[in-house]
Amino acid sequence: MRRALLTTLGGVFLAGSVAAADLPEGDPAKGRKLAGQCRACHGLDGYARIPIAPHIGGEPASYLAGQLIAFREGTRNHEMMSVVARGLKDQQIADLAAWYARHGATARLTADPEMAPEACVACHGADGIALVEDAPNLAGETNIYIDTQLKAFRSGKRVHEIMTEIALEMSDQDIRAAADWYGDVKLEIELKE
Ligand code: HEC
Ligand code: HEC
Q: Across the 193 residues of the chain, what is the mean pLDDT of every consecutive 10-residue run? A: 46 49 94 98 98 96 96 95 96 98 97 97 98 94 98 97 98 98 98 89
Rg of the chain over all Cα atoms, to the nearest angstrom: 16
Give the residue, by CA position, lying nearest to ligand 1 atom 27: 67
What pLDDT, on the 0 to 100 scale, is given for residue 17?
A: 39
Q: Which ligand is nearest to the CA of 41?
A: 1
Q: Which ligand is nearest to the CA of 43?
A: 1
Give the residue, by CA position, lying nearest to ligand 1 atom 32: 68
Distance from C-alpha of 74 to C-alpha of 127, rounded to nearest angstrom: 31
Give the residue, by CA position, lying nearest to ligand 2 atom 26: 136
Q: Which of 186, 187, 182 lies closest to 115, judged by CA?
A: 182
Q: Output the CA 7–ligand 1 centroid distance in Å.
A: 31
Give the residue, by CA position, lying nearest to ligand 1 atom 43: 41
Residue 176: partners with Cβ closer than 8 Å, 6 or more residues away: 143, 147
Give the residue, by CA position, lying nearest to ligand 2 atom 8: 163
What pLDDT, on the 0 to 100 scale, is given for residue 12?
A: 44
Distance from C-alpha of 58 to C-alpha of 47, rounded to nearest angstrom: 9
Distance from C-alpha of 151 to C-alpha of 148, rounded to nearest angstrom: 5
Give the residue, by CA position, lying nearest to ligand 1 atom 31: 81
Task: Characterise 140 by phi-psi region: left (phi > 0), alpha (psi -120 to 50), beta (else).
Answer: left
Q: Which of 163, 180, 182 to mutate to test the pocket of ligand 2 (most atoms within 8 A of CB)?
A: 163
Nearest atom (ligand 2) to Cα of 141: 26
Residue type, 72: R
Long-range contacts formed by 30-39: CB under 8 A, 24+ apart:
30/92, 30/95, 30/99, 31/95, 31/96, 31/97, 31/98, 31/99, 31/100, 31/102, 32/99, 34/92, 34/95, 34/96, 34/99, 35/96, 35/99, 35/100, 37/84, 38/84, 38/96
Q: Which of 32, 35, 64 lies closest to 49, judged by CA?
A: 35
Q: Which of 41, 79, 123 to mutate to test the pocket of ligand 1 (most atoms within 8 A of CB)?
A: 41
Q: Output the CA 143–ligand 2 centroid distance in Å.
A: 14
Long-range contacts formed by 190-193: CB under 8 A, 24+ apart:
190/45, 190/103, 190/104, 190/106, 191/45, 191/102, 191/103, 191/104, 192/102, 192/103, 192/104
